[in-house]
């Protein structure tokens, strides 16, 4: 199979990832729940994972690296730590439902959207500058659109938030592992990411990077610390990590992080961008196919969307699937992004690349779409 759905989950992993997860399943217990060897081995693995993530993402304190089950979990912690009933939150027009749905259900919360046309970062920054008025209590922004691969100007938006004293939550679901993220330089309150995409970890893993501001537990329960106390500990990571850890997942995630550090984020990004440009160039030459990519290559990550005139995007995806090419079609859990780009009614077909895809696979996609468009 040609797998081009890494924006959802990377399927091809470094061999060390499943090996590490399998080893942990049979040799590691629960960290912080005993002094025996399996518990201590699990604790060492968890700390090594925190330390490696802190080094990769520019965070000086590894204890501010929180393990989550996915980016959605982390974003819920971040949003519910900072946003109170009646608050106003400013978000980009490219946010995922993992941001908008938690905000929508919070009592009395007003959402302001900094919306700008696709691939116009200067206009988007201007909309943020205009929208960041006195009543805004928090800003949430996507680093890379999961639909279009659009790299948003988050460094400038973060600087704007710092200058105006407003907490900044960053969703790095599509950039972690490819685009450098320096947490303390950004001054972000939180940055949330999955483990199973660009970090090449197992599904069911994620990381939340915490700044120095207030954090509120999303779940309460056992932590292995301060057991006589009936409230959650006030220190990290325990305050946000109730219950038994997913140690096989964390072991696999550590292996994925080490792979990214070894190969290098810049090398992975260049590989994915090269494949994206190659596929986009081929698709753009097919009559009836519209490709959504940035005219500025440096603003395009390893994700692209396209449509085929007269053919429903779901049908295109299904037909590609029958040819053993895996893509994703529809709204991609991000209707706000489609609204900003003018594709809300039609949706798009999305192809997304990883470090393990090849130029030949990009060419196979182009050939298959060409056949579909001629029908």
13-26: pLDDT as tens digits: 999 999 999 999 99
pLDDT for residue 32 is more than 90: no
Q: Which of 53-57, 181-185, 221-225, 263-267 has the lowest mean pLDDT?
A: 221-225
Q: Is 165 exposed, middle or buried (0-12, 13-18, 19+ CB in 10 A)?
A: exposed
Cα distance between residue 151 and residue 143, in whole Å: 6
- Architecture (CATH level 2) of domain 2-10+265-374: Alpha-Beta Complex (3.90)
**Known catalytic residue at 49:** no
Residue span(s) of the chain under CATH 3.90.1150.10 come to 2-10+265-374
Cα distance between residue 354 and residue 271, in whole Å: 8
116-143: pLDDT as tens digits: 999 999 999 999 999 999 999 999 999 9
pLDDT in the model for residue 37: 95
Q: For 86-112, what is the mean pLDDT?
A: 98
pLDDT in the model for residue 213: 86
Residue in 56, 58, 60 with CA at minimum distance from that of residue 264: 56
Q: With bands split at pLDDT 50, 70 and 90, how would you rate the model's confidence at 188?
A: very high
Q: Is 48 exposed, middle or buried (0-12, 13-18, 19+ CB in 10 A)?
A: middle
Q: With bands split at pLDDT 50, 70 and 90, how would you rate the model's confidence at 81?
A: very high
pLDDT in the model for residue 375: 82
Residue span(s) of the chain under CATH 3.40.640.10 come to 16-263
16-263: in CATH 3.40.640.10: yes
Rg (CA), the chain: 21
Q: Mean of the per-residue pLDDT values for the chain?
A: 98
49, 141, 313, 333: the active-site residue: 333
Q: For 61-69, what is the mean pLDDT?
A: 98
Q: For 316-334, what is the mean pLDDT?
A: 98
């Amino acid at each position: 199979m040609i797998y081009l759905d890494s924006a959802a989950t990377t399927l091809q992993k470094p061999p060390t990832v499943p090996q590490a997860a399998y080893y942990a399943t049979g040799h590691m217990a629960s960290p912080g729940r005993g002094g025996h060897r399996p518990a201590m081995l699990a604790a060492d693995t968890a700390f090594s994972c925190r330390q490696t993530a802190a080094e990769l993402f520019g965070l000086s304190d590894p204890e501010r690296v929180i393990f989550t089950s996915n980016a959605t979990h982390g974003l819920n912690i971040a949003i519910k730590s900072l946003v109170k009933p009646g608050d106003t939150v400013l978000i980009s027009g490219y946010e995922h439902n993992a941001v908008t749905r938690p905000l929508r259900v919070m009592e009395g919360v007003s959402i302001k959207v900094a919306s700008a046309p696709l691939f116009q970062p200067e206009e988007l920054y201007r909309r943020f500058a205009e929208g960041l008025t006195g009543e805004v209590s928090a800003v949430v922004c996507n680093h890379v659109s999961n639909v279009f691969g659009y790299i948003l100007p988050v460094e400038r938006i973060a600087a704007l938030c710092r200058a105006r004293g407003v907490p900044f939550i960053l969703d790095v679901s599509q950039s972690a592992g490819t685009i450098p993220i320096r947490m303390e330089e950004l001054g972000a309150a939180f940055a949330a990411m999955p483990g199973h995409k660009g970090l090449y970890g197992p599904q069911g893993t994620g990381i939340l990077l915490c700044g120095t501001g207030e954090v509120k537990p999303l779940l309460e329960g056992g932590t292995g610390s301060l057991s006589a106390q009936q409230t959650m500990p006030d220190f990290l990571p325990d305050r946000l990590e109730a219950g038994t850890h997913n140690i096989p997942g964390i072991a696999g995630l550590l292996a994925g992080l080490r792979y990214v550090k070894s190969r290098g984020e810049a090398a992975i990004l260049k590989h994915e961008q090269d494949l994206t440009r190659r596929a986009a160039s081929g698709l753009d030459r097919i009559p009836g196919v519209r490709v959504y990519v940035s005219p500025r290559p440096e603003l395009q990550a390893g994700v692209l969307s396209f449509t085929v005139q007269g053919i429903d995007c779901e049908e295109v995806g299904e037909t590609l699937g029958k040819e053993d090419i895996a893509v994703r079609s529809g709204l991609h859990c991000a209707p706000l992004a489609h609204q900003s780009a003018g594709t809300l009614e039609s949706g798009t077909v999305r192809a997304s690349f990883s470090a393990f895809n090849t130029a030949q696979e990009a060419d196979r996609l182009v050939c298959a779409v060409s056949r579909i468009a001629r029908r």
